Amino acid sequence: METPLQVLAGCWILIVEDEYFLADELGQRLSAHGATLLGPVATLEKALALVEASERIDCAVIDLNLRGQSASPVADALEARNVPFVFATGYTASMMPDRYRHVLRWEKPYPFEALVQSLPALIQQSRVACRSAPYAKFAVPLEQIPT
């Protein structure tokens, strides 16, 4: 059997999913691609605690409905840290909160491999944005720099 490419080697991926078999399968796929897993966690409280306690999160996969509770606070906490995430949810597009319409949504049942393959580009986009954003507000035209 051929080993999958390690497209997520060195990446720390948070899984927030309350359906055990989905969380397990996704975790196996992510691990096979080299990711280090945070979780999976199945409750809002555990997810928030893990976000708070984790020094590094490169990306997250979030089920928006965790045992009847909205995982929106987890998404908000990740956005505050500039951590990219996707939703892997049973919610249709029309059911998504307006503030998350920009977030990539994988509707259950989703193709595991396609979701996994989408994460490296999302992580890379975020890293580029994070590297450039802190300096953008300090940008000064060259002619204004004293010599």
Residue-wise pLDDT tens digits, 37-51: 999 999 999 999 999
Contact 67, 43 (CB under 8 A): yes
Strands 12-16 and 59-62, sheet pairing = parallel
Nearest to 15 by CA among 6, 35, 3, 32: 35
Question: pTM score, two decimals?
Answer: 0.83
Alpha helix segments (H runs only) across the chain: 20-32, 44-53, 72-80, 112-136
CATH number of 12-131: 3.40.50.2300
Name the residue with higher pLDDT: 139 or 72.
72
Tokens of 63: 């089920």
In this predicted structure, what is the pLDDT of residue 3? 52
**Interatomic CA distance for residues 79 and 81, integer angstroms:** 5
pLDDT in tens, 118-130: 999 999 887 765 4
Cβ neighbours for 112, distance < 8 A, ≥ 6 positions apart: 25, 26, 29
- Rounded to the nearest integer, the mean pLDDT of the chain is 85
In this predicted structure, what is the pLDDT of residue 134? 39
Tokens of 4: 């999958």
pLDDT in tens, 55-101: 999 999 999 999 999 999 999 999 999 999 999 999 888 888 899 98
Bridge partner list, 15: 61
Strands 36-41 and 59-62, sheet pairing = unpaired
